[in-house]
Chain A
Amino acid sequence: MNHLPQAWGRPRDDVYGPYDASYLQSGHPQTHTKSPIVTGTSVLAVKFQDGVVIAADNLASYGSLARFTDVKRLRPFNSKCIVGFGGDVSDMQYLDRLLNSLDVVENYSSEGHSLNAKNLHTYLSKVMYKRRSEINPLWNQMLVAGLDGDDKPFLSSIDLLGTTFSSPTLATGFGAHLAQPLLRKVADDESKVAGVTKERAIEAVKECMKVLFYRDARSLDRYSIAIITKEGGVELKEDEQLEGQSWAFAETIRGYGRTQEV
């Protein structure tokens, strides 16, 4: 045994010649995500009388740096549902590929059957729970919007632990704190959904996107918005601009690093 720990437990080079390590796994250590790297912020969604509206901005941040300003975080699935991703962007891209392969399998295996938003949500929740059980979670929170088996509006959330919950209005990330209370003014209860028009829902979501841009330092004024209805299917617009901004309130803010006027 010599002083090099790398050689311990292996045939001695001076006796057997150089050690052939080619059969060993060249491998790197197995790594698990312990924190997200490139992240997307809030996703917002509201149910209305005959559909769902969902929105997310087009920013992927690298820490506090606004690194990528053209990242689409709303992903349509089989022209019936939308998945909105918050959290890690690379994990979002993995899930995107996973959903793609699911879609291919679904389309090849039989006609006349397609997964609705509820089926998709169940599937994603199992994927997320499996990964968290391996202690290697996919660092996302997702909103699934679409129609269920009875063509009723469907909206539900899944997070990195596989936890699911649903509500007439949902928001992830910073929006869960800032936008959700505002959205609840539109519909705070399942029974109110029937009284919410499409226009009202869109207006509320757009307003919340604006409020989030004012106050969330990881947000952007360009965003994607999708409306899912039975009649219109999925209408997805991926390059929208926030309208009617007013920064007048900023003048009154004191502190937070702003130069102090004495």
Chain B
Amino acid sequence: MFRNNYDNDSVTFSPQGRIFQVEYASEAVKQGSVVVGIASKTHTVLVALKRNAEELSSYQKKVIGIDEHFGIALAGLASDARVLSNFMKQQALASKMTYGRPIPLERIVAQIGDRAQTSTQVYGKRPYGVGLLIAGVDETGPHLFEFQPSGMTQEMIACAIGARSQMARTYLERHLDEFADASRDELIKHGLLALKESLSQDKELTVDNASVGVTGLAQDGKRKIESFKLYDGGEVAPLLEAALESAEPASGDTTVEGESMEVDT
């Protein structure tokens, strides 16, 4: 009997000043599996936890390369993300064709922000049910942006969205100061460890369910960029190994100590 009358469309405010359809769209983001993004002075990484709908199916793609200089990671409705990523691919290509210039990230992010906002203000449309992390490099260096279904976008140093992402954000907040000067490998490591924090007890990171995307400034020439590289499947193995190894020793040492103490008693 207490039906909510203000959530039938995305253009009606509730008396409390809320737009329920937009809030429901944000819930869709929270149901998606977690993705983490971090930016340093030289690189950006996107790290994602992939899910498979059933044992027999493949894993859902979480990190998508858009152009040579940037990519996205998604949490929420993958089909909505596909619409947005196709749009971004078109815009990136258009910029390359008409100006011979890789599209500035700030601009492409503003464009999808505007698109998403429109669907919260036009009758008959619905908000995108997906959150994105957009990471890449342009003329002004590495950038990481967060995009939400409301159309809100903001630049971040590090960010995590999706299910149980609070745990990952806590990790990121704890290590915030280390990111700016982190190397490529360290940044990937931080990304994977943040992702690991958010896993439920019975899960762990494997080559099947982890995806990593990296972009950065190339080490040799200042202007040249290291183009977006997606690590998937077997390619993730060395990255996972390096990250988990660095996390283990502390706990490894204590167990060794524990054992020796047991021997003593």
Q: Which of A110, A112, A150 contacts B110 (CB 8 A)?
A: A110
Contacts of A122 in B (CB 8 A): 98-101
Instruction: Flag if A119 contacts B99 (CB, 8 Å).
Output: yes
Contacts of B104 in A (CB 8 A): 110, 112-113
- B260 interface residue (CB < 8 Å to A): no
A133-166 to B contact mask, C-beta < 8 Å, 1/0: 0000000000000000110000000000000000
- A109 interface residue (CB < 8 Å to B): yes
A78 vs B165: C-alpha distance when bound (angstroms): 44
Give the tally of cross-chain contacts (CB within 8 A): 32
| Closest chain B residue, CB of each to CB of A102 | B99
| Closest chain A residue, CB of each to CB of B105 | A110
With contacts A119-B99, A119-B101 taken as known, whether A112 is within 8 angstroms of B140 at the C-beta atoms is: yes
How many interface residues does chain A have, given as a range? 10 to 19
| Closest chain A residue, CB of each to CB of B224 | A150
A102 vs B67: C-alpha distance when bound (angstroms): 23
Instruction: Flag if B110 contacts A109 (CB, 8 Å).
Output: yes
- A118 interface residue (CB < 8 Å to B): yes
Contacts of A149 in B (CB 8 A): 223
B125-167 to A contact mask, C-beta < 8 Å, 1/0: 0000000000000111000000000000000000000000000
- B97 interface residue (CB < 8 Å to A): yes
With contacts A149-B223, A150-B223 taken as known, whether A115 is within 8 angstroms of B107 at the C-beta atoms is: no
With contacts A112-B139, A113-B139, A113-B140 taken as known, whether A119 is within 8 angstroms of B100 at the C-beta atoms is: yes
Instruction: Flag if A115 contacts B106 (CB, 8 Å).
Output: no
Instruction: Show the binding face of A for B, using Cβ within 8 Å.
Output: 109-113, 115, 118-119, 122-123, 126, 149-150
The list of the 6 closest CB pairs from A to B, nearest first, reads A122-B100, A119-B99, A112-B140, A110-B106, A113-B104, A119-B101
Q: Known A-B contacts: A119-B100, A123-B99. Give 18 more (CB < 8 A).
A: A109-B110, A110-B106, A110-B107, A110-B110, A111-B106, A112-B104, A112-B139, A113-B104, A113-B107, A113-B139, A113-B140, A115-B99, A115-B101, A118-B100, A119-B101, A122-B100, A123-B98, A126-B97
